[in-house]
A and B are shown apart, each in its own frame.
Chain A
Amino acid sequence: MPTASVVKKSSRASQRFANRVGRRAPELIFGDLWAFDPAPESADPKLKPRYNLFINGKFVAPKGGKYFDSINPANERKLTEIALAGPADVDAAYAAARRAADGVWGKMPGRERAKYLYRIARLLQDRAREFAVAETLDGGKPIKESRDFDVPMAAAHFFYHAGWADKLEYVAPGRRVAPLGVVGQVIPWNFPLLMCAWKLAPALAMGNTVVLKPAETTSITALKLAEIFQDAGLPPGVVNFVTGAGDVGAAVLNNATPAKIAFTGSTEVGKIIMRSLAGSDKKMTMELGGKAANIIFDDAPLDQAVEGIVNGIFFNQGHVCCAGSRLLVQEGIAEKVLAKLKTRICSLRVGDPLDKNTDIGAINSREQLTKIRALVAAGVKEGCAMFQPQCVLPPKGFYFRPTVFSGVSMSSRVAREEIFGPVLSILTFRTVDEAIEKANNTSYGLSAGVWTDKGSRILKMSTELKAGVVWANTYNKFDPASPFGGYKESGFGREGGRQGLLDYCKLI
């Protein structure tokens, strides 16, 4: 990249210094003295030219015979085509799931179900690099994230939940548990494979069978996972994948068969689903949007906080429901934190998701890019100060520079609406109480971050923040053993940990 980002120190202290010695304020140069050559990941993603539906253990053509293109958001080129499921296909998937639930999976001893899940985890580990490349091609996320996070974490979810399958009497103290039967699941495009694992692993460990619909822009790794199910010998019908857009999702959700619906996606769609399911007596788990506050106190370890801010908002291009999109900084250090943040952002590399050195990849779709642009324009119009580094974006594909708004007020749109992109809004606070008030002043409640060196304050903040996950002196950490899910309009139910299993069983 032939551009150099220069970070100037502009605080009054250094201005004074600069004036005193009669030279420019000190600056750091993040230029191209040592430019990195392209380092594309070369593993073969082994994509088929066309993917069919996965129903009853087999890949089957959709009854309507229609397919839609899956696009690489990094260059807008077609990757493959994906079957478009119709209502009859969804019915067939549910019929298969019903048969599997009643005939095999529900009756199978837990220790045997466990072995299938262990096998799936192992087979996924075997093909980790292939899956990582496929995920990156399909969704635009940097290869280092799909390689180091999405795929290993997906395998870990199967491995963790496998061990539960024969220990279910420990899930709810004093109670016995039973599977619900058939479960319908709809997942989003931000972590396609990982969300599959999050949803499938606990459901299967508990003895349920599943019909799952991946997001239409990111169906590939789910269908590759289906290949692993075949290799693992998973009984037909235990997991069925139907692909397509919102209407297919509606068919999955509104089918009479499932006893439970699990959805991850936006709060807006979550509300539509809840309305459509009203009166159905189906159990539900909703993992919805967020507008997390990441709170930095003046005694925080600042460089690590800055790293946490970067990790909080730029991880996966900010396509993360728990992204730390509202930065709350204590007034006295606001200028310092902003300066450090700018410095750090200048060394982020935006570009080809397949390049091993890319930190920020492609926005998942044109539609999402349009939405991000509109909200950023709103931020500019509202008078917030915007910072973006001087990086060159690839000519084709959907890209957006990491963006920081400072001088944001609580009523700004960029501070209230979920942007789901690499856009951070900085607000300030003065006292602990004010930080808590501002953090909780939202209809969301998925996650929050707090940075301080004072132990008792961490515990107080953790108690007061109305959020399902609190990251203290860290951010965006996940683990299959750690329950994840929201308060308020960020949804209900938990995924992961012992608590996550409760949402896939009935107590008897």
Chain B
Amino acid sequence: MVRLPITKTPKVYVGGAFIRSESARVFPLRDAAGEFFANIPQCTRKDLRNAVEAAAKAGPGWAKRTAYNRGQILYRLAEMIEARAGEMADAIALGGATPAAAAREVAAAVDRLIYYAGWTDKYEQVLGNVNPVAAPFFNFTVTEPMGIIGVITPDEAPLLALISLVAPAITSGNTVVALASTRQPYPAILLGEMLATSDLPGGVVNLLTGFRAEMIPTFATHTHLRAISAVVNAAERKALALGAAESIKRTIMLKAEEKRDWFATTAQSVDAIRDTLEYKTTWHPVGA
């Protein structure tokens, strides 16, 4: 007699804990062949609200970590994914990718994390500077994380795109509330488990699953989100921009209509880190 395997109940990773949606709703996830795989939490605006609260709690501590420490933690996250690469590749393959393509995506995601892990203690040296003002003052410009960043991921490259949007934001000390791909949410569920074992403080990255149409209005109007980094279509862009106007929220919106190669090195840059930074300029007199 064949042993019936124990299936895992997918939960989302919010505030360092694994939870179901507060709404108690789920949606079924089927594999490429149409077989039922699992029920995925259908998160709602209240889950987003809770995730923002969790991110707000974690934010100051994360931003105060030394750049060196943040780099090590991002590196540790890469280690955790690499160690469970096969499992993650299976999760990606659920959506129909070939095993080779899925493995390639996991490898690229790990490499992307390594790329940003290396930036934590360097981007400031590239983006900030001392300004030679025409008066007896020492004047310098540094960057600071904006705060809580809302991330909305595309359906393609469910792990790599998610990592590519989340990593630059947390590199500098931001916290993130991310909405995973609706079509392929499982890699994000699995990523939550890897985040939990990566030394990344709970609440720094919060991953939600659910329906874009249901979630985007709340991402648009939540005033505690200081920026939105999203891959979105025209209607979604307009909705996010309208919501952003109410609290002068920053929006970094990539067009879903445009094809983009998430594997290319152009999909990673110090500019992506800069997108979720504020510049702060300080003046001080030079005298005796």
Contacts and interface: CB of A to CB of B under 8 A. Distances in A.
B279 A499 contact: yes
Contacts, number: 114
B245 interface: yes
A477 B242 CA distance: 34
A278 B280 contact: no
Interface in B121-179: 126, 129, 131-135, 137, 139, 141, 144, 146
A65 interface: no
A457 interface: no
B281 interface: yes
Most buried by A among B131, B234, B255: B131
B234 A479 contact: no
A470 B241 contact: no
Contacts of A359: none
A274 B250 CA distance: 11
B279 A485 contact: yes
A274 B241 contact: yes
A482 B246 contact: no
Contact of A481 (B133, B237, B269): B133
A507 B284 contact: no
A472 B280 CA distance: 13
A469 B237 CA distance: 30
B69 interface: no
Given A474-B137, A492-B250, A271 B245 contact: yes
A279 B234 contact: yes
A443 B248 CA distance: 10
Interface in A437-488: 443, 458, 462-463, 467-474, 477, 479, 481-485, 487-488
A156 interface: yes
Of the listed residues A288, A479, A507, the one surrounded by the most CB atoms of chain B closer than 10 A to its CB is: A479
B283 interface: yes
Contacts of A156: 134
Interface in A359-411: none
A272 B245 CA distance: 7
What is the interface residue range for chain B against chain A? 35 or more
B244 interface: yes
B242 A275 contact: yes
A461 to B, nearest CB: 9
A278 B245 contact: yes
B247 interface: yes
B219 to A, nearest CB: 14
A446 to B, nearest CB: 11
B133 A274 contact: no
Contacts of B248: 267, 270-271, 274, 286, 288, 488-492
B285 interface: yes
Contacts of B250: 492
Interface in B238-288: 238, 241-242, 244-248, 250, 255, 269-271, 274, 278-285
A279 B281 contact: no
B112 interface: no
Given A172-B271, A174-B270, A492-B250, A482 B245 contact: no
B135 A271 contact: no
Given A172-B271, A173-B270, A467 B241 contact: no
B76 interface: no
B226 interface: yes
B264 to A, nearest CB: 14
A220 B9 CA distance: 69
Contacts of A482: 131, 133, 139, 141, 281, 283
B131 A479 contact: yes
A483 B241 contact: no
Nearest to A288: B248
A176 interface: no
Contacts of A473: 284-285
Given A278-B242, A485-B279, A497-B131, 15 more contacts: A175-B271, A267-B248, A274-B244, A275-B245, A278-B244, A279-B234, A279-B242, A469-B282, A471-B282, A474-B284, A474-B285, A477-B135, A481-B139, A487-B146, A490-B248
Interface of A: 156, 172-175, 267, 270-275, 277-279, 281, 286, 288, 443, 458, 462-463, 467-474, 477, 479, 481-485, 487-492, 494, 497-499, 502, 507
Q: What are the 5 tightest A-B residue pairs by CB atom distance, in nearest-first order?
A: A279-B238, A274-B245, A278-B241, A479-B133, A278-B242
Interface of B: 126, 129, 131-135, 137, 139, 141, 144, 146, 226, 234, 237-238, 241-242, 244-248, 250, 255, 269-271, 274, 278-285
17 contacts: A175-B269, A271-B246, A271-B248, A272-B245, A279-B238, A281-B255, A474-B137, A477-B283, A479-B139, A481-B132, A481-B139, A483-B141, A487-B280, A488-B247, A488-B248, A492-B248, A497-B141
